[in-house]
Chain A
């Protein structure tokens, strides 16, 4: 029998990226708050890796209406309108919070926060701190967190939520030594981020394994639009082991051009008006097509070239890119980069209310684990804003939850212990399973999808899920749990993709012929929970 530590708090936050820490800061004003993070708090998730920026309406010439319209259009009108209204209205206030807490954004000569243009936006409204905007925000939040009373458990992994009387009443977690930590709470916030690590090629940190999708689903929450996965057009292809590493959109923003192996600027065939600065879904499909049709580079990408730009421009505007490529042996001032699409962001997630409440009482969700804000395709710069706007809302809603006298029953802990014990007696190392899963997902549920491939992928997932995962040591238990979460998240993506028989935003069904554009689609969200699954239909006048 494993010894179980039992803790008690008012609000439990799971996840330490931008959304989780923002939620914890807010919740701490209402009562005792605990934050658990499977990484060192502040180092995990994708927030510290975000380069581009944070969208907020800060100028008189700009308006929340245009930010709203840009976001809806970019999201192929699948976004939840109420959530988008909140995002655009509150993003500026959350910038103010960050400024009050010490954030150092780039500034204009008149001492206001500088903003730059970003894809799909009708006004330059992306605030930034060089090309390390997410890191700047994360450092600010971590500093702020330190001045609150939030109790932080780093390197403690949430296993599952605990339900009692149809509510979520806490979570069971695992520390690095294989000991269960049970945390009872009045309210729980899931802020576990995304999960594109289920694909072979991904920009995500190694923590992006979709744990929150799986944990939420198992606790009975409903998820929407899980098929909506954004593939960023430009990921690194070399070195092979670092494939998928993000090459920022700013490279094209600065004038970088895409060429195939024959030297053609192929975007002219796909979007002659916007060329390289077309939307991410279009550029990704264009690159993938070039590679599939045999016009790729030796490393299996296409060329992204900035060698025609002045050296100084590359050095000043793209310093991190320059530094990273130099480290990998390529001087981008002299030679073109090789790039290919990479799985980047999950637009789908737990269905939330404007108050970040999920469909399960006592459970809130914010950041990438929640769905609906970004519809079928996210605009660059809207994710960081999302973490702050809905992080605050989730923390506040959770904080305002009434105090309860629930108790985590021994039975719940016993069941989890049984699950863990089985791993110590398993057959297959988790790394073998995740490797197969990633390949299957990339091949069968990637940029181009068909029912046939999706069903094949689902079969692979079902098979992999039937294997008995092996933990050689207590420390490997976490990997087994994560692998199970990846398998479940992957199945949610594939099932969502099967449910949506249309091409929309990032979701491209090659086997479906459709007569409508996104604005006139007869479909709404796909939804999946333990109880039901399907796709909403829209009745149009």
Chain B
């Protein structure tokens, strides 16, 4: 037996004005799960604590709670000393018990034709992963879009595709999904990262439904325009001035000996909208011994098409991009756009390794910059944090330059075609970000994705800096001080 400290959310809407937290010290056995700790509190200390549980084996989805802010099944997550246990971010009935029924009722249910048809193997294999959902609603707890618009959410979208694939269902589920908010999903990936069954809802359900919607002519007009632009120009944004690629040399040699050579995949946003930021990144790489090769024939990665279900032209883009780097014998391709990086890593099969700039800089190490007298907060780009699993690297870099104040990692609203297709949803999400930013009291917002940077800039009065620009600021300060001394 061991003693652990547990902080538990308590709230009875019938008698309490507002929620409070209660601290318990409880005896549990080695290897105990969160559920066992809650059970021990209930049995040995405080029988008034309410929580749900049933199968105790991760199979019924009754006991989902947030442990240190992250949703998961209480029966499967290990109980750790000092943990905080809270209900899912859904209406609370009492303590850790939330209203699941409202969401259970919105899940679409099959309307079978009545024939005992056995779906063929191919269909069955497609349906099966979607079918393993245990309706615990961890996904709904973290979905940012559901907070700001009419969207039935990840669990319902998963079910819409499951039904659409089933030959026995009689309804048009694609049209239904569109009317229930299919295009509101920002592909932030929060849902599947917390899914106890690992169902990849954005990629394996939402994007598939959007592709089916495309076949039915239900793609949003603005998304059609973007696709047309990509087909005509190879780029997802309209040219408004000279681009990064037009102004760059073919190769940027580092100061001093090269630690590594990488190909640079710039992406449409840094190429056409924020080329100065990309040039900042090149300066930082140059200063830190990275030789950068820049193939000029590279095009859009295809992400804006894949996320919106317009996949027809994507193979052409993939081939052109892969050929551009392969022809230069590059074994590593660097991205600085989180969206492009995630797409190259997850949607492509590349013969070369793809690394985000945060990974490259931390792997090879950077020359220490001067510390800047500013407080910054960091906005995790969804496609970096969840798309590529990169969390610590940017923080390691930022804290070398400035003091970092954390804020919760939530989508800013710019992804998944939502900024172009449903601007009011994107704006509402950014307004939520704005509040979080203000709460930190930071002077500067730092991020590492052109979509996030561009979108957040429109919704905050604080300066928004790319992580490499911030490092470069540190180098300039360092150089300035050095010049003053000499």
Contacts and interface: CB of A to CB of B under 8 A. Distances in A.
Interface of A: 39-40, 43-44, 48-49, 96-97, 99-102, 104-109, 111-113, 129-130, 132, 135-136, 139, 143-144, 146-147, 154, 205-207, 238-242, 245-246, 324, 327-329, 429, 431-432, 435, 472-473, 475-476, 479
Q: Give the residue among B55, B132, B135, B168 with the most A Cβ atoms within 10 A.
A: B55
B30 A324 contact: no
B124 A107 contact: yes
A238 B52 CA distance: 23
Contacts of A101: 110, 112
Contact of A99 (B44, B104, B118): B118
Nearest to A432: B43
Nearest to B131: A104
Contact of A132 (B31, B36, B59): B59
Contacts of B121: 107-109, 111
A113 B169 CA distance: 19
A111 B119 CA distance: 7
B168 A100 contact: yes
Interface string B84-127: 00000000001000001100100001111011111111001001
Nearest to A140: B110
B118 A113 contact: yes
Interface of B: 28-33, 36, 42-44, 47-48, 50, 52-62, 75-76, 94, 100-101, 104, 109-112, 114-121, 124, 127-128, 131-132, 134-135, 166, 168-169
Q: Give the residue among A139, A328, A479 with the most B Cβ atoms within 10 A.
A: A139
Contacts of A105: 118, 124
Q: Give the residue among B32, B100, B104, B115 with the most A Cβ atoms within 10 A.
A: B104
Given A245-B56, A431-B44, A472-B48, 19 more contacts: A40-B54, A40-B100, A43-B62, A43-B135, A44-B54, A96-B116, A99-B118, A102-B112, A104-B124, A104-B131, A107-B124, A111-B118, A112-B118, A113-B118, A143-B109, A154-B101, A205-B54, A207-B54, A329-B31
Contacts of A324: 57-58, 76
Contacts of A132: 59, 132
Contacts of A147: 109-111
B112 A100 contact: yes
Contact of B54 (A39, A97, A245): A39
A539 to B, nearest CB: 45
Contacts of A473: 47-48
Q: Give the residue among A108, A206, A246, A324 with the most B Cβ atoms within 10 A.
A: A206
B131 A205 contact: no
B120 A111 contact: yes
7 contacts: A99-B118, A105-B124, A107-B121, A135-B134, A154-B101, A431-B44, A432-B43
Given A143-B109, A239-B29, A429 B58 contact: no
Nearest to A50: B59
Given A107-B121, A109-B121, A431-B42, A100 B55 contact: no
Smallest CB-CB A-B distances: 7 pairs: A239-B31, A431-B43, A241-B36, A99-B116, A240-B29, A102-B110, A100-B116
Contacts of B168: 100, 102
B166 to A, nearest CB: 6
Nearest to B117: A99
Nearest to A203: B57
B33 A102 contact: no
Nearest to B29: A240
B124 A49 contact: no
Given A40-B62, A328-B31, A475-B50, A104 B36 contact: no
Nearest to A207: B54
A239 B33 contact: yes
Nearest to B58: A324
Contact of B31 (A39, A113, A241): A241
B115 A100 contact: yes
A205 B55 contact: yes
Contacts of A106: 124
A206 B56 contact: yes
B246 to A, nearest CB: 49
Contact of A242 (B36, B60, B110, B112): B36
A454 to B, nearest CB: 28
A104 B119 contact: yes
Contact of A48 (B52, B55, B114, B131): B55
A238 B128 contact: no
A143 B47 contact: no
Contact of B169 (A102, A107, A154): A102
Contacts of B104: 40
Given A240-B30, A241-B29, A107 B119 contact: yes
A40 B29 CA distance: 29
Contacts of A48: 55, 59-60, 134
A130 B121 CA distance: 13
Contacts of B135: 43
Contact of B62 (A39, A108, A109, A240): A39
B31 to A, nearest CB: 3
Contacts of A96: 116
A102 B29 contact: no
B97 to A, nearest CB: 8
A245 B120 CA distance: 34
B131 A139 contact: yes
B109 A49 contact: no
A49 B62 contact: no
Contact of A135 (B59, B112, B169): B59
B70 to A, nearest CB: 15
B169 A104 contact: no
Contacts of B32: 239-241
Q: Give the residue among A97, A112, A240, A435 with the most B Cβ atoms within 10 A.
A: A240
Contacts of B127: 104
B60 A44 contact: yes
A527 B201 CA distance: 52
Nearest to B44: A431
A303 B53 CA distance: 29
A43 B131 CA distance: 15
A162 to B, nearest CB: 27
B197 to A, nearest CB: 9
A204 to B, nearest CB: 9
Given A104-B128, A130-B128, A473-B48, A240 B31 contact: yes
Contact of A43 (B43, B61, B109, B120): B61
Contacts of B109: 143, 146-147
A135 B117 CA distance: 20
A136 B131 contact: yes
A102 B114 CA distance: 9
A135 B61 CA distance: 11
A69 B124 CA distance: 33
A101 B110 CA distance: 8
A223 B213 CA distance: 57
Given A100-B114, A102-B112, A130-B128, A205 B30 contact: no
A104 B58 CA distance: 21
B15 to A, nearest CB: 11
Nearest to B31: A239
Nearest to B42: A431
A102 B111 CA distance: 9
Contacts of B116: 96-97, 99-100
Contacts of B53: 206
Contacts of A112: 118
Contacts of B55: 43, 48-49, 205-206
B47 A429 contact: yes
Contacts of B115: 100
Contacts of B112: 100-102
Nearest to B73: A327
A242 B131 contact: no
A262 B183 CA distance: 61
Nearest to A328: B31
B31 A238 contact: yes
A102 B31 contact: no
Nearest to A329: B31
